[in-house]
Amino acid sequence: MTASARPPWWLSWRRRHGEEEEPAMGGRRAAEQVALAAAGPNRAASADPNTLDYEACYARCDDVYAAVSLLADNAAQVPFVVHVDGQHQPGHPLTALLRSVNPFQGAGEFWSRAYSFLWLTGECFLLVERDRETQPAELWAFSGRALEPVADASVYLSHYRFRPPGAGPEGGFPVNRRDVVPLLLFHPSHPLRGLSPLSALRLGLSTELYAKRANYELFANGLMSDVAISFDFVNDEQRQRTREALRNAHVGDGKRHGFLVLERTTAIEKLSLTPRDAEFVELDKLTTRDVAKAYRIPPMFLAQLENATLRNFETGYRALWELAILPRVRQVAAALTEHLAAQYGPGVTVEPDTSGIAALRGGDAERAQTFRALVGSGIDPDWAGRRVFGADWQPGLTAVKPAATPEGGEL
């Protein structure tokens, strides 16, 4: 047995002492099996190119790639901080774990991967690898294709089953639910699974994919022949010999720029694009708008720039953070608090640190000025703070003095 496959020492102790065995395989072994399945001789067969699954959407649909990578790359830049009873604890062990998640991935790469899974498939499962003291030591991110929740009639969720790509029903191993942090988007019919935002876009994305394939064939092979040649043939042998000679001398690479060999009695009509083919550009724009709507992204960030200006671009960038990115970041922080922070003791919580997001700081000067004006007019500071700063307001931390007018009076 290799070192990577050796069970934890405490599991071996339980086996020797006859205690009940619990699912206890960790994230690193799961990552190893995924890597081996992708690179080894028993790797999973390539996906059917005609099947538009979520991975194919990301790899072949430019709008989906742009949307998911935009959201995930930005969300991955928001660090997590740990609080104990409301007090920031920068030296807490959980803080170190969230910043150096495992020896093979940096925090930026890891969280970008996790958010990509979440936005692409609607679910991501974080697996915990524990040290010899059974404390969380590493985190690994997987999509729902590799990890499956196992329901139970008495305890709701019994455990998880890990299956590497290409493995059969007996492949993989069970995973204790204590070692999994599930990140799920609401699924109305499967409460233990997540629903991808792309589920509502499958038809539109498939239509665009086939339209682009037809458009590619049109440009590659041409809509019509470039030239028509008429002959009076005596027999089929002469016709075939003439056709082969012309093909060898004049047909381009990939059978482009072909020709027609016609009898003198044959008539040819000019071909043109049908109205259906002419709608290709509008179809592409419609798909882009649909993807932007599903992911709550202002269309201008997916290259729909018809009505974009500098002012609404700045407003849209703030909306991108407030409507699309931050809700998911806060959801991940809540899941980490519920499933991971609780293992470090009571009162431990995980919060996103949004202080470095430039888009949210752009209107601070205007909001501060509004707040000073409200306070100067006699309005309760706590009410004014909640009204102006919203979720960013923390009463009692800062006292803002009313600003003076140019004439020397107070606002």
The phi, psi pair for 189, rounded to 5°, reads -110, -10
- Looking at residue 122, its pLDDT comes to 92
Q: What share of the chain is helix, strand, coil (3-state, %, to 5)?
A: 50, 15, 35
Most confident of 250-264, 338-352, 378-392: 338-352
Residue 319's alpha-carbon distances to 17, 23, 286, 359, in angstroms, are 58, 43, 21, 9
User: How far is it, in rounded angstroms, from Cα 128 to Cα 136?
Assistant: 6
Structure confidence by residue, pLDDT tens digits, 272-317: 555 555 566 666 778 888 888 889 998 888 877 776 676 677 788 8
Q: What are phi and psi of 402, to 5 degrees?
A: -60, 140
Contact 179, 127 (CB under 8 A): yes
pLDDT computed for residue 224 by the predictor: 52
CB 344 within 8 A of CB 92: yes
Q: At a CB cut-off of 8 Å and minimum separation 6, what does 11 contact?
A: 21, 24
Mean pLDDT of 170-187: 89
Say which residue, 165 or 141, is predicted with more confidence: 141
Is this prediction's pTM over 0.85? no
* Residue pLDDT, tens place only, 125-149: 999 999 887 889 999 999 888 888 8
Is pLDDT above 80 for 362? no
Token representation of residue 234: 């005596």
Residue bearing the bigger pLDDT, 253 or 43: 253
Radius of gyration of the chain (CA): 30
Biggest alpha carbon–alpha carbon distance for the chain: 107
Angle between helices 107-121 and 326-339 (to 10 degrees): 100
Instruction: Give the HSE-up count for residue 289: Cα atoms under 13 Å, Cβ half-sphere.
Output: 8
Q: Quick one: 336 exposed, middle or buried, by C-beta within 10 A (0-12, 13-18, 19+)?
A: buried
* Range with lowest mean pLDDT among 57-61, 375-379, 402-406: 402-406
351 in Cβ contact with 95 (< 8 Å): no
Residue 113 scores a pLDDT above 90: yes
Q: Measured between alpha carbons, how far apart are the two ends of the chain, in Å?
A: 76
Q: What local confidence, expressed as pLDDT, does residue 281 receive?
A: 63
- pLDDT > 80? residue 380: yes
pLDDT at position 102 is: 93
What are 196-214's pLDDT values in tens digits? 998 888 777 777 777 677 6
